[in-house]
Amino acid sequence: MSELSYKRTNVYEKADEQTMQAIFEYAKGYCKFIDAGKTEREACAYVVEAAKAKGYKPFEFGQKLKAGDKVYYNNRGKNLYLIKVGTEAVAKEGIRIIASHIDSPRIDLKQVPLYEADGIALAKTHYYGGIRKFQWAAIPLAMHGAVVKKNGEVVQINVGEEDTDPVFYISDLLPHLAAKQNAKPHGEGLGGEDLNIWLGNIPYTAATEEKDRTVKENLLRILHEKYGMEESDFLSAEISLVPAFKARDLGFDRGLIAAYGHDDRVCSYPAYTALLDSTDDKRTVMVVLADKEEIGSEGTTGMQCALFADLIDAIASSFGTCGAMVRAKSKCLSADVTAAYDPNFKEVAEPLNSTYLSCGAGITKFTGARGKSSSNDASAEFVGEIRKIFEENGVVWQTGELGKVDMGGGGTVAKYIANMNIDTVDIGVPVISMHSPYEVVSKADLYQEYLAFKAFIR
Ligand code: MN
Ligand code: MN
């Protein structure tokens, strides 16, 4: 092939011993992060600790920032902004922004969840984000969340992650009796109201009154003893069921990682570590770890919240300029996963314009559906600028779309940032089995994503 033609680079094919070591070492830190941060609250708390250890201090509105400042803004414990103020003038150079999200698809408890049916204590749920419901039955689930009790006290729940912990469960039919269910369209095997969580099976035999000798009563007593909570406390709680799986190396060669919630912690980790590891003092950098991306980036902790612009305004006013001027000069990498080409499901992908495992960070110029609807279509100029930065810094990257034209589609936070007059392009780690309880990524791509962010903020 001549040097005039384009070909993707496989990272593992080209990596020397030292690079292989760096890739595998970096993946270890990531696996720790992803196991410790299965919900946005936990991921946020984890990164706050890491930032504090690097000298980051909480930011408060009204505070005047100066070059050299390293601050974080913890938005309601679910959404985090890390800001490092550089020596360059923000009115001239803008801010380098990397935005990823720390929420993942999961199963949430409803506000009145508990009931008993035929000797089983169960909980009603309402799923969060785009899931294929049948994938969530018959696997071990862990319970994570926060309960705000009637006295205002907040209780954190985390059960199912330790080997000695119990797990929770959604049941499915045995094949012997599934003929009718099997005949349904694949997506209708389990309905939204079928995702009921198994919580217990032993009745409260010590009850003096017959009516209290129930499994639900026993469960309420356990919850009261363990958390001091009553049934009504679920009214003001956020409790999620997530897969109880730990991140594991995949395959004999250990080149891949299987885990819950790669989307989008596999971009969040390189985003915040690139910033915390950065020794450059020129650029002003902001890393956003957003919540609510999986349900449309709405609300106080989502990317559409005014807080994003407010923080840029605060940086601008510290230097006697205005947010509009800073935004006009700012640039953003929207760091979100993309669909990796899966040899098992070739029919949904267009091979020339797919991202492939271990071929580097995946730039997606436009997302959306049908005729690029609802997409931030990054300009050729901006993609060219990013391409130049990556090439000068030896970052291995590729480009791809999420599936064939008219096959489906998806979106990211990119458009909300671009709507604020900030050049933005999507760049993410390719994922297999996206939004399933156990997703797969390549360690090589994770590392290239990190190198890409380091180059971008240098
Ligand atoms: Mn995502
Ligand atoms: Mn997603």
State pLDDT tens for residues 225-262: 999 999 999 999 999 999 999 999 999 999 999 999 99
Distance CA 277, CA 54 (A): 9
* CA neighbours closer than 13 Å in the CB half-sphere of residue 455: 20
Q: CA angle 267-336-39, nearest 5°?
A: 65
In the predicted model, is pLDDT for residue 126 greater than 90?
yes
Distances in whole angstroms, Cα of residue 341 to Cα of each of 188, 253, 360:
26, 20, 13
CA of residue 141 to ligand 1 center, whole Å: 21
CA of residue 365 to ligand 1 center, whole Å: 15
CA of residue 306 to ligand 2 center, whole Å: 22
Q: Which residue has the higher pLDDT, 217 or 410?
A: 217
CA of residue 442 to ligand 1 center, whole Å: 16
For residue 24, what pLDDT band results from cuts at 50, 70 and 90? very high
Per the structure block, which two tokens stand in for 441? 């990524």
For residue 291, what pLDDT band results from cuts at 50, 70 and 90? very high
- The bound ligand whose nearest atom lies closest to the alpha carbon of 435 is 2
Q: Calculate mean pLDDT across residues 403-432.
A: 96
In the predicted model, is pLDDT for residue 354 greater than 90?
yes
Contacts of 300 (CB under 8 A, 6+ apart): 75, 76, 307
Distance CA 293, CA 335 (A): 12
Pick the closest to residue 107 from 258, 251, 266, 238 (CA basis): 238
Distances in whole angstroms, Cα of residue 162 to Cα of each of 8, 246, 379:
41, 10, 47
Rama region for 254: left / alpha / beta (φ>0; ψ in -120 to 50; rest): left
Q: Calculate mean pLDDT across residues 113-129.
A: 98
How many helices and strands, by DSSP H and E, does the chain display? 12, 22
Residues 189/181, Cβ–Cβ less than 8 Å: yes
Residues with CB under 5 A from ligand 2 (ion): 263
CA of residue 187 to ligand 2 center, whole Å: 18
* % of the chain with per-residue pLDDT over 70: 100
Distance CA 163, CA 76 (A): 30
CA of residue 263 to ligand 2 center, whole Å: 5
Q: Calculate mean pLDDT across residues 40-64.
A: 98
CA of residue 291 to ligand 2 center, whole Å: 11
**What is the CATH code of the structural domain delimited by 106-243?**
2.30.250.10
Q: Where are the CATH 2.30.250.10 domain residues in the chain?
A: 106-243
CA of residue 252 to ligand 1 center, whole Å: 28
CA of residue 337 to ligand 1 center, whole Å: 5
CATH class of domain segment(s) 11-104+260-457: alpha beta
Could you count the other beta carbons within 10 Å of the beta carbon of residue 64?
Answer: 9
pLDDT of residue 237: 98
CA of residue 104 to ligand 2 center, whole Å: 7
CA 421 to chain centre: 25
CA 205 to chain centre: 43
In the predicted model, is pLDDT for residue 2 greater than 90?
no
CA of residue 271 to ligand 1 center, whole Å: 14
Residues 159/141, Cβ–Cβ less than 8 Å: no
In the predicted model, is pLDDT for residue 140 greater than 80?
yes
In the predicted model, is pLDDT for residue 1 greater than 90?
no
Q: Where are the CATH 3.40.630.10 domain residues in the chain?
A: 11-104+260-457
Q: Calculate mean pLDDT across residues 206-231.
A: 96
pLDDT of residue 312: 98
Q: CA angle 99-383-130, nearest 5°?
A: 45
Residue-averaged pLDDT of the chain: 97
CA of residue 384 to ligand 1 center, whole Å: 24
Distance CA 160, CA 242 (A): 9
CA of residue 60 to ligand 2 center, whole Å: 31
Instruction: Report which secondary-structure segment, H or E, holds 326.
Output: helix 323-329
Single pTM value for the model: 0.97
Q: Calculate mean pLDDT across residues 194-212.
A: 95
CA of residue 157 to ligand 2 center, whole Å: 24
CA of residue 268 to ligand 2 center, whole Å: 13
CA of residue 338 to ligand 2 center, whole Å: 9
Report phi then psi at 337, rounded to 5.
Answer: -65, 160
Distance CA 296, CA 411 (A): 9
Residue whose pair of structure tokens reads 């989008």 in the numeric block: 264
Q: Calculate mean pLDDT across residues 410-430.
A: 97
Q: Calculate mean pLDDT across residues 109-117.
A: 98
Question: What is the signed CA dihedral for 177, 180, 183, 189, rounded to 10 degrees?
Answer: -80
